Structure 1
Amino acid sequence: MHSPDNIQYAMESTRVLMEPDRRIDTFGETRFEFVLLSELMDSAGQIRIRSGEVEALKPQIVRPDGYSDIELEGFGDKARERFDALVEKMRDQGQDMAFLNYGFRFKRGQVSEELVHDSLEDVRDRVMEDARVAGNPARAIIEGVDDAWEVSIFKFSFEMILRSWAINQFDFQRRGLL
């Protein structure tokens, strides 16, 4: 398991270089593709490229105990502990966590990995250019920490929920659910 300092470092170091054009659907499922770049901690000039997808499954109204009912499917054995630590860090930083009361479920699909021997800047430039050419509105490019890469995916997912929250809240209100 990662220490609170490792989680904090991963949160501070994670950057979403390109976010998807779309937001999380209020009453449906939303799938995002990600490419996560991370430099190996003890090997300069070696970049791990992880590609995969994360899905926000249809939110459901849940009990007031909030995030304990958020499901994490397809993540590693320690994902719940990492997720809980990330939520706690975000609360400590004053982040409004009201969106967690709506039962988001995260599902991570298969992740492929590739090791590239080049500078992070050159790999980043190539991946960003490939993404621009492909024009996939569901793709995210993330730069994170290699050994705590799932924290980077959680942070990206939280950011997408936060960016979607105003639209989702409006939809809930419009249907009389808030």
Structure 2
Amino acid sequence: MSKNNWSKTFKKNKYRIYLGLIGLFVLFILLIFIKNGISNHSLKNYENDILIVKDNNDNQKSFSLKELRSYKNIDQKISLNNNREEVNVTGVPLEQLLGDLSYNLEESPEILVEDSNGKTETLPMSVALEVNRILVVYKINGKANKDYDKTLGSFTLIDTTDKSKDSRIKDAKVLSIQ
């Protein structure tokens, strides 16, 4: 075909071409929304699960999963089991969560983390306040924690610098600032 034929063909069909391109763009946008809706659908079952943060003056604040998702979330790839397993985690940095509260953190040397079984573990405040080091994770590999592994509970505290799977604090329910 000569240049004139291409020009005539384009002029005759330019509106169809434009509509086709607009249709492809709209379809692309819809697919993005559908993908995000599907990935967050598994979290709907756990939106009312609560994480409680309290200080030594018995002031407490509770965060539901729905509220935590409204914070600035971090999607990060972390290695576990000495780089044998790599997972994508989504969560809220602990220092951001603690920073939004009006608790006196300077005089507190540690955080006591209690799980649903009543087992407690301590976390140094200096580690907890490091930027993006400790994440309150609620989604692993695109699934809610409980859907990925029942033992993780709704909220898991993960140290992003530690490669060991044993360093996770699973099923965190109460964070007590001591």
TM more than 0.5: no
* TM-score, with structure 1 as normaliser: 0.29
Larger Rg: 2
Higher relative contact order (CA 8 A, sep 6+): 1
Which is richer in strand? 2
